[in-house]
Structure 1
Amino acid sequence: MFRQTIAKRTLATFIPKETILPKKYGGRMTVTLLPGDGVGKEITDSVVSIFQAENVPIDWETVDISQLDHEDGVNAAVESLKRNKIGLKGIWHTSADQVGHGSLNVAFRKQLDIYANVAFCKSIPGVKTKIPNVDLVIIRENTEGEYSGLEHESVPGVVESLKIVTKVNSERIAKFAFDFAMRHDRKMVTAVHKANIMKLSDGLFRNTVARVGEAYPQIKNDSIIVDNASMQAVAKPHQFDVMVTPSMYGTILGNIGAALIGGPGLVPGVNYGREYAVFEPGSRHVGLDIKGQNVANPTAMILSSTLLLQHLGLNDTASRISKAVYDVIKEGNATTKDIGGNASTTEFTKAVIDKLSTM
């Protein structure tokens, strides 16, 4: 269960020191809910239903940016997070054909300085895969690199896109990765780069991670070129433990990790900043093609919500919900189509709720 069986290894123990928890009113906490696009509302509805059935002391402040324009939507989400500090988020869609608008996800992270994305690619009993027992954590720098969002057409037909890599942010994500490894009993941190070609930018990232790693002698410190990392992750994923990457490489490897364990519907994740934490599926799939069909797998979103509960100190509730999810998947009687079943999103959710009622 993502190494949750030993208290010191739970994600709840790894909260950036500056992160502020939401205020309690009458024992309850308000959390921002951002349903997202595609199947986002369907799978966040699953979490809301489970939390209601479990009487979790959380009130949702919902911000549906689909009802707003680009800038107003991001601003509304940002203001809600500034109030509540904690959020549960679906994936926002950014069309490749939409000119003049950058990524909503990138704009959101940059405004709140949510700099660290963590994706948990761990095999789940009951899901058939070609390679068993995968247990890989991908930690991605969220705010710069190719996702700096700085590009322009200098002359007609010539576009310049600026890849920004800074020492301070490379140090920050490196320290995050090594601290994570220490607190979760992980043995190795591997920096992913393309320093053989981008000697200055990726060279700075690789060298910074290596230097930060010198302060953690208990953790093996390694590096690998991104194209080789992609091949090795597919062929021999067990050689990796924690991978720390610039923005784009983490997105690529996160999708590989999702494929290894059975699909994007199974990968939970979280984004950390100095003051905010936003929990969302770790694989960047919106599910526009299955929107409204009630077939999406809500596992990644539910497990992300259990990480949120751990963050808030509700460890027993988090363990109950995650165990119920794993039990339902292992039994195989109410699983969704992406992992070989025939259940709908709501049927899977009901199965989890029913399982909780017997625990």
Structure 2
Amino acid sequence: MAKVAVIRGDGIGQEVVPEAEQTIQAAARAAGFPIEFTQFDWGSERYLREGRAMPEDGCETLRKFDAIFHGAVGGHPRIKGPVVQEHIILGIRFGLDLYANIRPCRLYHESLTPLKNKKAGEIDHVVFRENTEGLFVNVGGFFKQGTKDEVALQEEIHTYKGVERVIRAAFLFARRHKRRKVTMADKASGLRYAGGIWRRVFEEVRAEFKDVESEAKHIDAVAMELVQHPQAFDVMVTNNMYGDILSDITSGLVGGLGLAPSANLNMETTCFFEPVHGTAPDIAGRGIANPMAAILTGALMLDHLGCLKGGEAIRRAVEEAIGAGERTADLGGKLDTRACGEAVRKRLRV
């Protein structure tokens, strides 16, 4: 039996994750794949009670599971700054060394894209974002803070090991899934050192994958061309900050964050699955949040756990529900969170 740790978290995480859980269980059951969920109350309320959003030994607890399923954390009005996100999201990513953040974006219906004449399936991207280095290591500090002479420093960290393994993961994914091309996005022309190591390592790794078409482009060109010619891209790999931005662009091309799943992977440890969206405090508690990103994240988790039929059944059911107009308001529909989850579940077929 696959054992999954569940952290519903804060805000709409408390609303969308239950819909995802029910959908995952239904798909797994139909595929004959036993799965068990264990709930953890980690998040803002725990932080307010105990001073930590998750226990200091939280990562050791999570290693005992086959996967981690997470909703969203942060946004509490009584908590200043991103401390809860740092404890849980960054704490798990860094604590378990989950170096590859994978964000697939597929157009499920032509009405969801702002671009003209794009049909379902014609936009289909997978972004590999380096997940444990770059600007998000938070190396830096303030000098003369609070004065008009204040200086803020934020340093990037890029290692050969970190860059090589995420680029290699992107190529292996492309080969395994018969994807068309790998594009590496950097800024080697202006950032001599950070861009330089990414460009050199990419050239080294791509030489081992001559069967996979590949290219290196500057990040600003990739951002522009994604909007102009999205079909020219397939698998993309880049650093932590650029990947965060590029994956939001690709999400915007296919319907927004309500359809954006993600996986944080290192095949040598327990992996972490979460929708890309945040806690959305402006709509939390109203029962109108879109659960499809969480549900699609569940499909990624089932794929990872080896229940491929269950993952595919979920994606097919989501596409059929969207095609039938059974959507939440952010996608032009009228359903609430629970009804949207039910619309997907009634279409599950394995």
If the length of structure 2 is used for normalisation, what is the TM-score? 0.87
Q: 1:165–1:201: 8 Å Cα contact kept in structure 2?
A: yes
Q: 1:175–1:212: 8 Å Cα contact kept in structure 2?
A: yes
> How many angstroms apart in 2 are the aligned matches of 1:326 and 1:350?
14
> How many angstroms apart in 2 are the aligned matches of 1:226 and 1:97?
32
Q: Which amino acid aligns with 2:138?
A: G
Deviation of the 1:111 alpha carbon: 0.8
Question: What is the SS of the residue equivalent to 1:177?
Answer: helix
Q: 1:345 to 1:238 in 2, by over 3 A?
A: same
> How many angstroms apart in 2 are the aligned matches of 1:99 and 1:300?
22
> How many angstroms apart in 1 are the aligned matches of 2:24 and 2:128?
28
More displaced, 180-189 or 254-263?
180-189
More displaced, 263-272 or 137-146?
263-272
Give runs of aligned pairs for residues 76-95 of structure 1, distance below 5 A.
Answer: 77-93=58-74
Q: Corresponding residue for 1:231?
A: 224
More displaced, 306-315 or 54-63?
54-63
Q: Corresponding residue for 1:25?
A: none
> How many angstroms apart in 2 are the aligned matches of 1:31 and 1:224?
38
More displaced, 308-317 or 68-77?
68-77
Pick aligned residue for 1:112 from 96, 110, 113: 96
Q: 1:63–1:77: 8 Å Cα contact kept in structure 2?
A: no
> How many angstroms apart in 1 are the aligned matches of 2:151 and 2:332?
47
More displaced, 177-186 or 71-80?
71-80
Identity %: 31
> How many angstroms apart in 2 are the aligned matches of 1:102 and 1:337?
27
> How many angstroms apart in 1 are the aligned matches of 2:84 and 2:8?
20
Q: 1:32–1:63: 8 Å Cα contact kept in structure 2?
A: yes
Q: Which amino acid aligns with 2:38?
A: E
Pick aligned residue for 2:46 from 62, 68, 71: 68
1:35 aligned to 2:8? yes
> How many angstroms apart in 2 are the aligned matches of 1:143 and 1:36?
22
> How many angstroms apart in 2 are the aligned matches of 1:220 and 1:94?
42
Pick aligned residue for 2:177 from 176, 181, 184: 184
1:347 aligned to 2:339? yes
1:103 aligned to 2:55? no
> How many angstroms apart in 2 are the aligned matches of 1:240 and 1:74?
41
Q: Corresponding residue for 1:130?
A: 114
> How many angstroms apart in 1 are the aligned matches of 2:41 and 2:164?
35
Question: What is the SS of the residue equivalent to 2:298?
Answer: helix
> How many angstroms apart in 1 are the aligned matches of 2:58 and 2:138?
19
> How many angstroms apart in 2 are the aligned matches of 1:222 and 1:280?
29
Give runs of aligned pairs for residues 199-278 of structure 1, distance below 5 A.
Answer: 199-273=192-266, 274-278=268-272
Q: 1:237 to 1:303 in 2, by over 3 A?
A: same
- Number of aligned residues: 329
Q: Which amino acid aligns with 1:92?
A: V
Q: 1:170–1:205: 8 Å Cα contact kept in structure 2?
A: yes
Deviation of the 1:139 alpha carbon: 0.3
Q: 1:65–1:73: 8 Å Cα contact kept in structure 2?
A: yes
Q: 2:265–2:272: 8 Å Cα contact kept in structure 1?
A: yes
More displaced, 139-148 or 291-300?
291-300
Q: 1:94–1:103: 8 Å Cα contact kept in structure 2?
A: no
1:142 aligned to 2:142? no
> How many angstroms apart in 2 are the aligned matches of 1:52 and 1:76?
28
Pick aligned residue for 2:329 from 334, 337, 346: 337
Question: What is the SS of the residue equivalent to 2:139?
Answer: strand
For structure 2, which runs of at least 5 residues remain unmatched after alignment? none
> How many angstroms apart in 1 are the aligned matches of 2:102 and 2:6?
19
If the length of structure 1 is used for normalisation, what is the TM-score? 0.85
Deviations 1:19-77 (A, max 9, x none): xxxxxxxxx32201111332112111101222444546222111221232264516364
Q: Corresponding residue for 2:18?
A: 45
Q: 1:266 to 1:48 in 2, by over 3 A?
A: same
Q: 1:74–1:107: 8 Å Cα contact kept in structure 2?
A: no
> How many angstroms apart in 2 are the aligned matches of 1:342 and 1:126?
18
> How many angstroms apart in 1 are the aligned matches of 2:211 and 2:347?
41
Q: Which amino acid aligns with 1:341?
A: G
Q: Which amino acid aligns with 1:128?
A: L
Q: Which amino acid aligns with 2:14?
A: K
- CA RMSD of superposed structures (Å): 2.3
> How many angstroms apart in 2 are the aligned matches of 1:203 and 1:316?
42
Question: What is the SS of the residue equivalent to 1:238?
Answer: helix
Deviation of the 1:173 alpha carbon: 0.7
Deviations 1:64-94 (A, max 9, x none): 2123226451636423321103111123337
Pick aligned residue for 1:280 from 270, 274, 283: 274
More displaced, 255-264 or 72-81?
72-81
Q: 1:76 to 1:89 in 2, by over 3 A?
A: farther
For structure 1, which runs of at least 5 residues remain unmatched after alignment? 1-27
Deviation of the 1:234 alpha carbon: 1.3
